Amino acid sequence: MCGIVGYIGPKPSKNIILRGLEALEYRGYDSAGIALVDSKGGQVFKQVGRVNGLTQEVEEEASNAGLAIGHTRWATHGGVTVANAHPQMNSDHSIFVVHNGIIENFDELRQRLEEAGYTFESETDTEVVPQLIDYYLKQLPSFVAAFEATLRDVRGAYSIVAISTAEPETLYAARLSSPLVIGVGEHENFLASDPSAIMDHTKKVIYLEDYDVAVITKDKVDIHNLKEDTHTSPKIELLDYENEKALLGDYPNFMLKEIFEAPAAIRSATLGRAVVEQNMVKLGGLEGVLGQLKYIDRIVIVAMGTSYYAGLVGEYLIEELADIPVEVQLASEFNYRKEPFSRSTALLAISQSGETADTIAALKKVEDYGVLRLGIVNAVGSTIARMTDAGVYCHAGPEKAVASTKAFLAQVTVLLLIALHLNDGRSKRFRPLIEELNELPAKAQAILDHTDEIKAIAEKYADYRDFLFIGRHTGFPAALEGALKVKEISYLHAEGYAAGEMKHGPLAMIDENFPTFAIATDSPLLEKTYSNIQEIKARKGPVLALATRGNKAITKFCSDVIYIPETEPETQSILQVIVMQLFAYYIAIKRDNDVDRPRNLAKSVTVE
């Protein structure tokens, strides 16, 4: 992985590809490249580092070919080198391929090709694809036949795009468990792993499904599904994506912009859904499965990373408000375990991008179980949005920083709405929570209005190497998310723990150089959290507390305190996480880190 762009048409393709690659930079990558083909032959340009390092060379030396593919790579097989960057080529440099995903049997294929006389120039799994196409092209009558024969040999997850000097007017593309979308234009067509790369050119798109092979010219798209062995008429859809919202504006980076969009993200997630006047929660995305939901007696939430922590908050909310047992599992573990699964169980997949490979695999695992598959995603039209039976969009808008911020807040808000929806007004908590959801954006804004205080405290702690985050109830998954944010963008060691676990091991780490971020907002468990803080202080550990505004008692045994507005227990984690996002952000800025593109990470994890 990480980003793919392609173009076929009458315009100089190099500029379209470069701008498309720039639009995909938010996903995280380590190298970039572009291949162009016209009637005179092919050209390849590759560099380690950012797309802007590639731009000058391409603009000066590349032809005005109307066919090109480009790629931003996040290394999986082989180090970060020019040789390992994409596009990858066959031995005589007549076939060019870009690839997202992992080819699991590449060692076997490579050995087979080497025995047939092929030599390899990279360490990547991708290079077997152009070499294998070349191998079959010598035996089969057409490029598409060789391409499909190659795909039948390949095991793994992929989106693959290929071009050839022998066919300078055709793009070939295939997808299996890795997103790929075709943009439809007038006498031109586009290709991308993410719609944001082609939004400036068209909003008409064709989503490729698993096992689809597309043959694309400037005027036509032909799709053959390898699994079903059928040719399908492309279904053109209109993208619902406001690209202008993804512009940076006056902010220094996208992460800070997206943190400051928290009030809008919460408001968008509740708009038209939490209806105070009618004392109801309306979720249009679930209306088609209301009959099935009445018979659900267990919900399994599957997710990864930040979305997993949102799911852990949702577990508390759904169990306490809807009286339905909930399990939250890492999708990567769920996929490889055996467990009882009845038809009265619903699987709920959470993913910001809607393209998370492990979460998609979890949905595929239960395809034949006859269970209800639900989704919470932010990206409209994404794979998970299309493969689930029903679901709820987050409506958080584009999120370009690799570390998720506003999407987490929207996910938790949606999970609370689902809990209330399943409760159907039975709980005394129903009305107060609907009202609180409508007040929450203003309370989030109140936190953002005092970022200078958070910044000053964060900078005070920026030189520490280790952090412990602790919390209770929904504050526990919030602590996990706070620790993750510090790890992701500050590159510091941080751990999240349930506060009650302190005496069961973590206390051994505490000394004057190991600060604790204690979530100690008002709750029935606050005094127990006080006890945990006292245990840390007794071992000379610095404590930074997050408390509810008006709590002066906590200052007696904490080095520093950050306050949030008073809110309902069920919505506290939303406000808590905003503070921790800012805390991690200002530490990272103090340490001069690239907060939008943290090292070694990618925005959309499309491989297992």
Mean pLDDT computed over every residue of the chain: 91
Residue 245: per-residue pLDDT: 54
**Tell me, what amino acid is at 556?**
K
Full DSSP string of 236-300: -EE----GGGG--TTSSSHHHHHHHTHHHHHHHHHTTTEETTTTEE--GGGGGGHHHHTT--EEE
608 vs 446, which has greater pLDDT? 446
| From 2, 14, 406, 443, active-site residue | 2
Q: Summarize pLDDT for 68-98 with one digit per residue, the tens.
A: 999 988 777 778 888 888 899 999 999 999 9
Whether 2 is catalytic is: yes
d(CA 567, CA 546): 13
Statement: residue 511 has pLDDT above 90: no
Active site residue 603: yes
Q: Residue 298 and residue 534: Cα distance in Å, rounded?
A: 39
Cβ atoms within 10 Å, residue 147: 25
Tell me the per-residue pLDDT of 413-437, one tens digit each, with 9 for 90 and over.
Answer: 999 999 999 988 788 899 999 999 9
Q: 52-61 and 13-23 helices cross at what angle (nearest 10)? A: 180
Query: Above pLDDT 90, what percent of the chain?
Result: 64
Taking the model in full, what pTM does it have?
A: 0.77
pLDDT tens track for 541-588:
899 999 999 999 899 889 999 999 999 999 999 999 999 999 999 999
Compute φ and ψ for 204, nearest 5 degrees: -90, 120
309-366 pLDDT tens trace = 999 999 999 999 999 999 999 999 999 988 888 889 999 999 988 888 899 999 999 9
Instruction: Provide the pLDDT confidence category of residue 246 given band limits of 50, 70 and 90.
Output: low
Tell how far CA 401 is from the center of its chain: 10
Name all domains of the chain by residue range, CATH numbers in brackets: 2-240 (3.60.20.10), 254-444 (3.40.50.10490), 450-600 (3.40.50.10490)
Over residues 148-158, the mean pLDDT reads 92
Share of the chain above pLDDT 70, in %: 97
Active-site residue identified among 257, 400, 485, 603: 603
According to the model, what pLDDT value does residue 52 have? 81
Model pLDDT, residue 608: 53
Residue-wise DSSP of 295-339: T--EEEEEE-HHHHHHHHHHHHHHHHHH---EEEEEHHHHTT---
How far are the Cα atoms of 56, 79, 239, 256, 605 from residue 96, in angstroms, in the given order?
A: 21, 20, 29, 38, 24
